[in-house]
Chain A
């Protein structure tokens, strides 16, 4: 069965430090992978997505993610975190078939220390 795992429920980093949020997926074919961000009480905003080609994907707000097929991972990174990055982050994989459905991970809450 398709699934997405975000091993870290909560992460705290200092402002200016680097960030890596982990995402592992289980999928039987070439995955379509997404990272979304959610501010408290708001909807989700797409940060970046991977379909094919270059395994290092650039997104908005200075985020990037790297697809590693051998590790079934799609980790999100940012070299220097800003206080405004504090939010919840969701990794998702596109479900098989042309439904547009997404399968989401549990989410990782990022706290940024001043």
Chain B
């Protein structure tokens, strides 16, 4: 079955540590996205990538980094510079067209201890 996988589902991190969230898709989509979700704030775009080896900052990129070395993979690193990293993180993919649907992974809940 085609889809998007995110791992792990739950992640705990100590303050001052970097942590990497995994996102893999087998939908053959060119574009991939990372969102952060906090209660009452909807989804906010962190980074997106329209093609391999290229990515752009979204609305809240500070304290995060990404890479796009393969079409199928778009890992997100939450660095120690992110002031309030505890949140639910969602990955999505689509073709890079306005009209196309974004497909979402199941999410990773990150908690900073």
Contact = CB atoms under 8 A, between A and B. Distances in A.
What are the nearest 3 A-B pairs in CB distance? A43-B104, A94-B98, A44-B104
Contact of A99 (B4, B50, B109): B50
Interface stretch (A12-20, A65-73, A100-108): A100-108
Nearest to B29: A100
Interface residues of A, number: 26
Nearest to B58: A101
A101 B48 contact: yes
Given A9-B40, A99-B50, A41 B101 contact: no
Contacts of A49: 101
- Give the secondary structure class of A's interface: loop
B90 A100 contact: no
A94 B45 CA distance: 13
Interface of B: 4, 6, 31, 33, 40-43, 45, 48, 50, 56, 58, 88, 90, 92, 94-107, 109
Nearest to B105: A43
A100 B42 contact: no
A105 B37 CA distance: 12
A106 B109 CA distance: 19
A98 interface: yes
B96 A41 contact: no
Contact of B102 (A41, A96, A100, A105): A100
A97 interface: yes
A101 B101 contact: no
A94 B99 contact: yes
A32 interface: yes
B98 A98 contact: yes
